[in-house]
Structure 1
């Protein structure tokens, strides 16, 4: 069964004549949608298909990873929330990437979308120059502008991985 609930998500190209905050938010939304596009129409088995040995990187793992990244940067660093990771454990910090047959896109997609919704809600309360209420694991504080830029970079990098994995899974290419 394919993941019909995400078939053909719409991506909106960011406007070329907007202010800084809107540009950052639009590019982040574009990259969020791009990852969903790369996963659309695939079965859980296809989504768990690894890129190339020895890597076990797969599309489902990327969705789970981005849910963790959204959670970490927005809930923990920006919002200062003391919240547990969704997937990471003391035994396997990269559990988000390390998927098993029991892991489903439906669960991962729902968790990812919940983190995105929470991120949008939190970010709306801050100006670009405002420092987050929590510290990164390095102890450093980050303003919303830096977090937006980092999230765009994180999605762009992983969307490149998603391009290659999707092509390996079913031959589909494109931006």
Structure 2
């Protein structure tokens, strides 16, 4: 996944799309060059958080917001849990790069297609947990926030694995 900086003068939708893709690419970049064992490495026991767990979690989040919520397929199961448990994705102990990144990349591609097909950022979908309609704009902003927060975790995890730091 190529990491391209967001435009400095784009319209709202183009800017949201670019920031979301920038953060998606940042997560992929934090995992570059690492094998399964390093990707599963937990940097702060007793936490089970790992880079591979973050990739799995973000596959789950992409699935939730773009496939099940905005995409309207509420009955689609979670990627990693039969019990609709978002936390289950963090346990990457039996996972591989191929499995986790395959699921994440499929969900990202689906998310991009759902967003591109929406006629505007004003498209809404109902979120049962919030008992409210939310706009595609809010979903995209929420996803940027979600990635930015977890990319901060990825910074620390990667540094603990091999000392790699940086944007």
Q: TM-score, normalised by structure 2?
A: 0.94
Unpaired runs of 5+ residues, structure 1, are 1-8
- Does structure 1 residue 116 correspond to structure 2 residue 120? no
Q: How far, CA to CA, are the matches of 2:128 and 2:108 in structure 1?
A: 19
Q: What are the Cα deviations for residues 137-175 of structure 1, in whole angstroms up to 9, with x where unaligned?
A: 333221100000000000000000000000001110001
Higher helix share: 2
Higher strand share: 2
Q: 1:55 maps to which residue?
A: 47
Q: How far, CA to CA, are the matches of 1:91 and 1:27 in structure 2?
A: 28
- Does structure 1 residue 96 correspond to structure 2 residue 89? yes
Work out whether residues 61 and 99 of structure 1, in 8 Å CA contact, stay in contact via their aligned partners in 2.
yes
Q: TM-score, normalised by structure 1?
A: 0.90
Distance 1:145 1:93, change over 3 A: closer
Distance 1:93 1:160, change over 3 A: closer
Work out whether residues 6 and 19 of structure 2, in 8 Å CA contact, stay in contact via their aligned partners in 1.
yes
Q: 1:164 maps to which residue?
A: 156
Q: What are the Cα deviations for residues 13-68 of structure 1, in whole angstroms up to 9, with x where unaligned?
A: 01101100000000000000000000010010000001212211000000000000
Matches within 5 A, 1:9-20: 9-20=1-12
Work out whether residues 76 and 135 of structure 1, in 8 Å CA contact, stay in contact via their aligned partners in 2.
no
Number of equivalenced pairs = 165
- Does structure 1 residue 152 correspond to structure 2 residue 144? yes
